[in-house]
Amino acid sequence: MLRRLTHRLLRHYPQIYLACHVAHTRARTNRFGLTDRDVVLLGHLDEQAPLRAGPLARHLGIGAPALSAQLQRLAKLGYLTRTPAARDRRRLDLLLTPRGAEALATTSILDPNRVNALLLQLSPAQRTSAVDGLALLAMAARRLQLKKSSRRSTPSP
């Protein structure tokens, strides 16, 4: 059953991507002043589930100083918050702000107008089911990436 679902996902995703994809933005040419790299970073954040900088840096393959500078700039622009973690105040929890979510949606590699047109091909109930399904896949993707990042950061015995 899982193999069949995987096959279906692999077959359907490119159709959605091709129907809704737009050219990538150039550095800071969008109204939010975001580079493609900024968009990638923001795309890993959530408005409710905090992410730590260390695993994010490892996942993105960049050093802590470079990530710190990028996070500081994006926080100053109001796209994310950096708050001390409850359990360890030396670590920061990163959250996407509503402004960051808006910027991310507007600078997506998917054209919002094309996505709207796509969704209009479905009934209201189907739209909700489709988006809820994608949200579940995105949540699973974040979990998978965090597991990969934590495995890379764990020293070998």
* Segments making up each domain of the chain, as ranges: 23-109+122-153
How many Å apart are CA 55 and CA 151, to the nearest integer? 10
80-84 β-sheet, strand order: 51-52, 92-96, 80-84
Given the structure tokens 């910027």, which residue do they identify? Answer: 103
Per-residue pLDDT of the chain (157 residues; tens, 9 = 90+): 889 988 888 888 888 888 877 765 555 566 788 887 888 899 889 898 888 888 888 888 889 899 999 999 999 999 999 988 777 777 788 999 999 999 887 777 778 888 999 999 999 999 999 999 988 888 888 777 667 656 655 544 4
* Cβ 94 vs Cβ 45: under 8 Å: yes
φ, ψ (nearest 5 deg) of residue 48? -125, -30
Task: State the fold for domain 23-109+122-153.
Answer: Arc Repressor Mutant, subunit A (1.10.10)
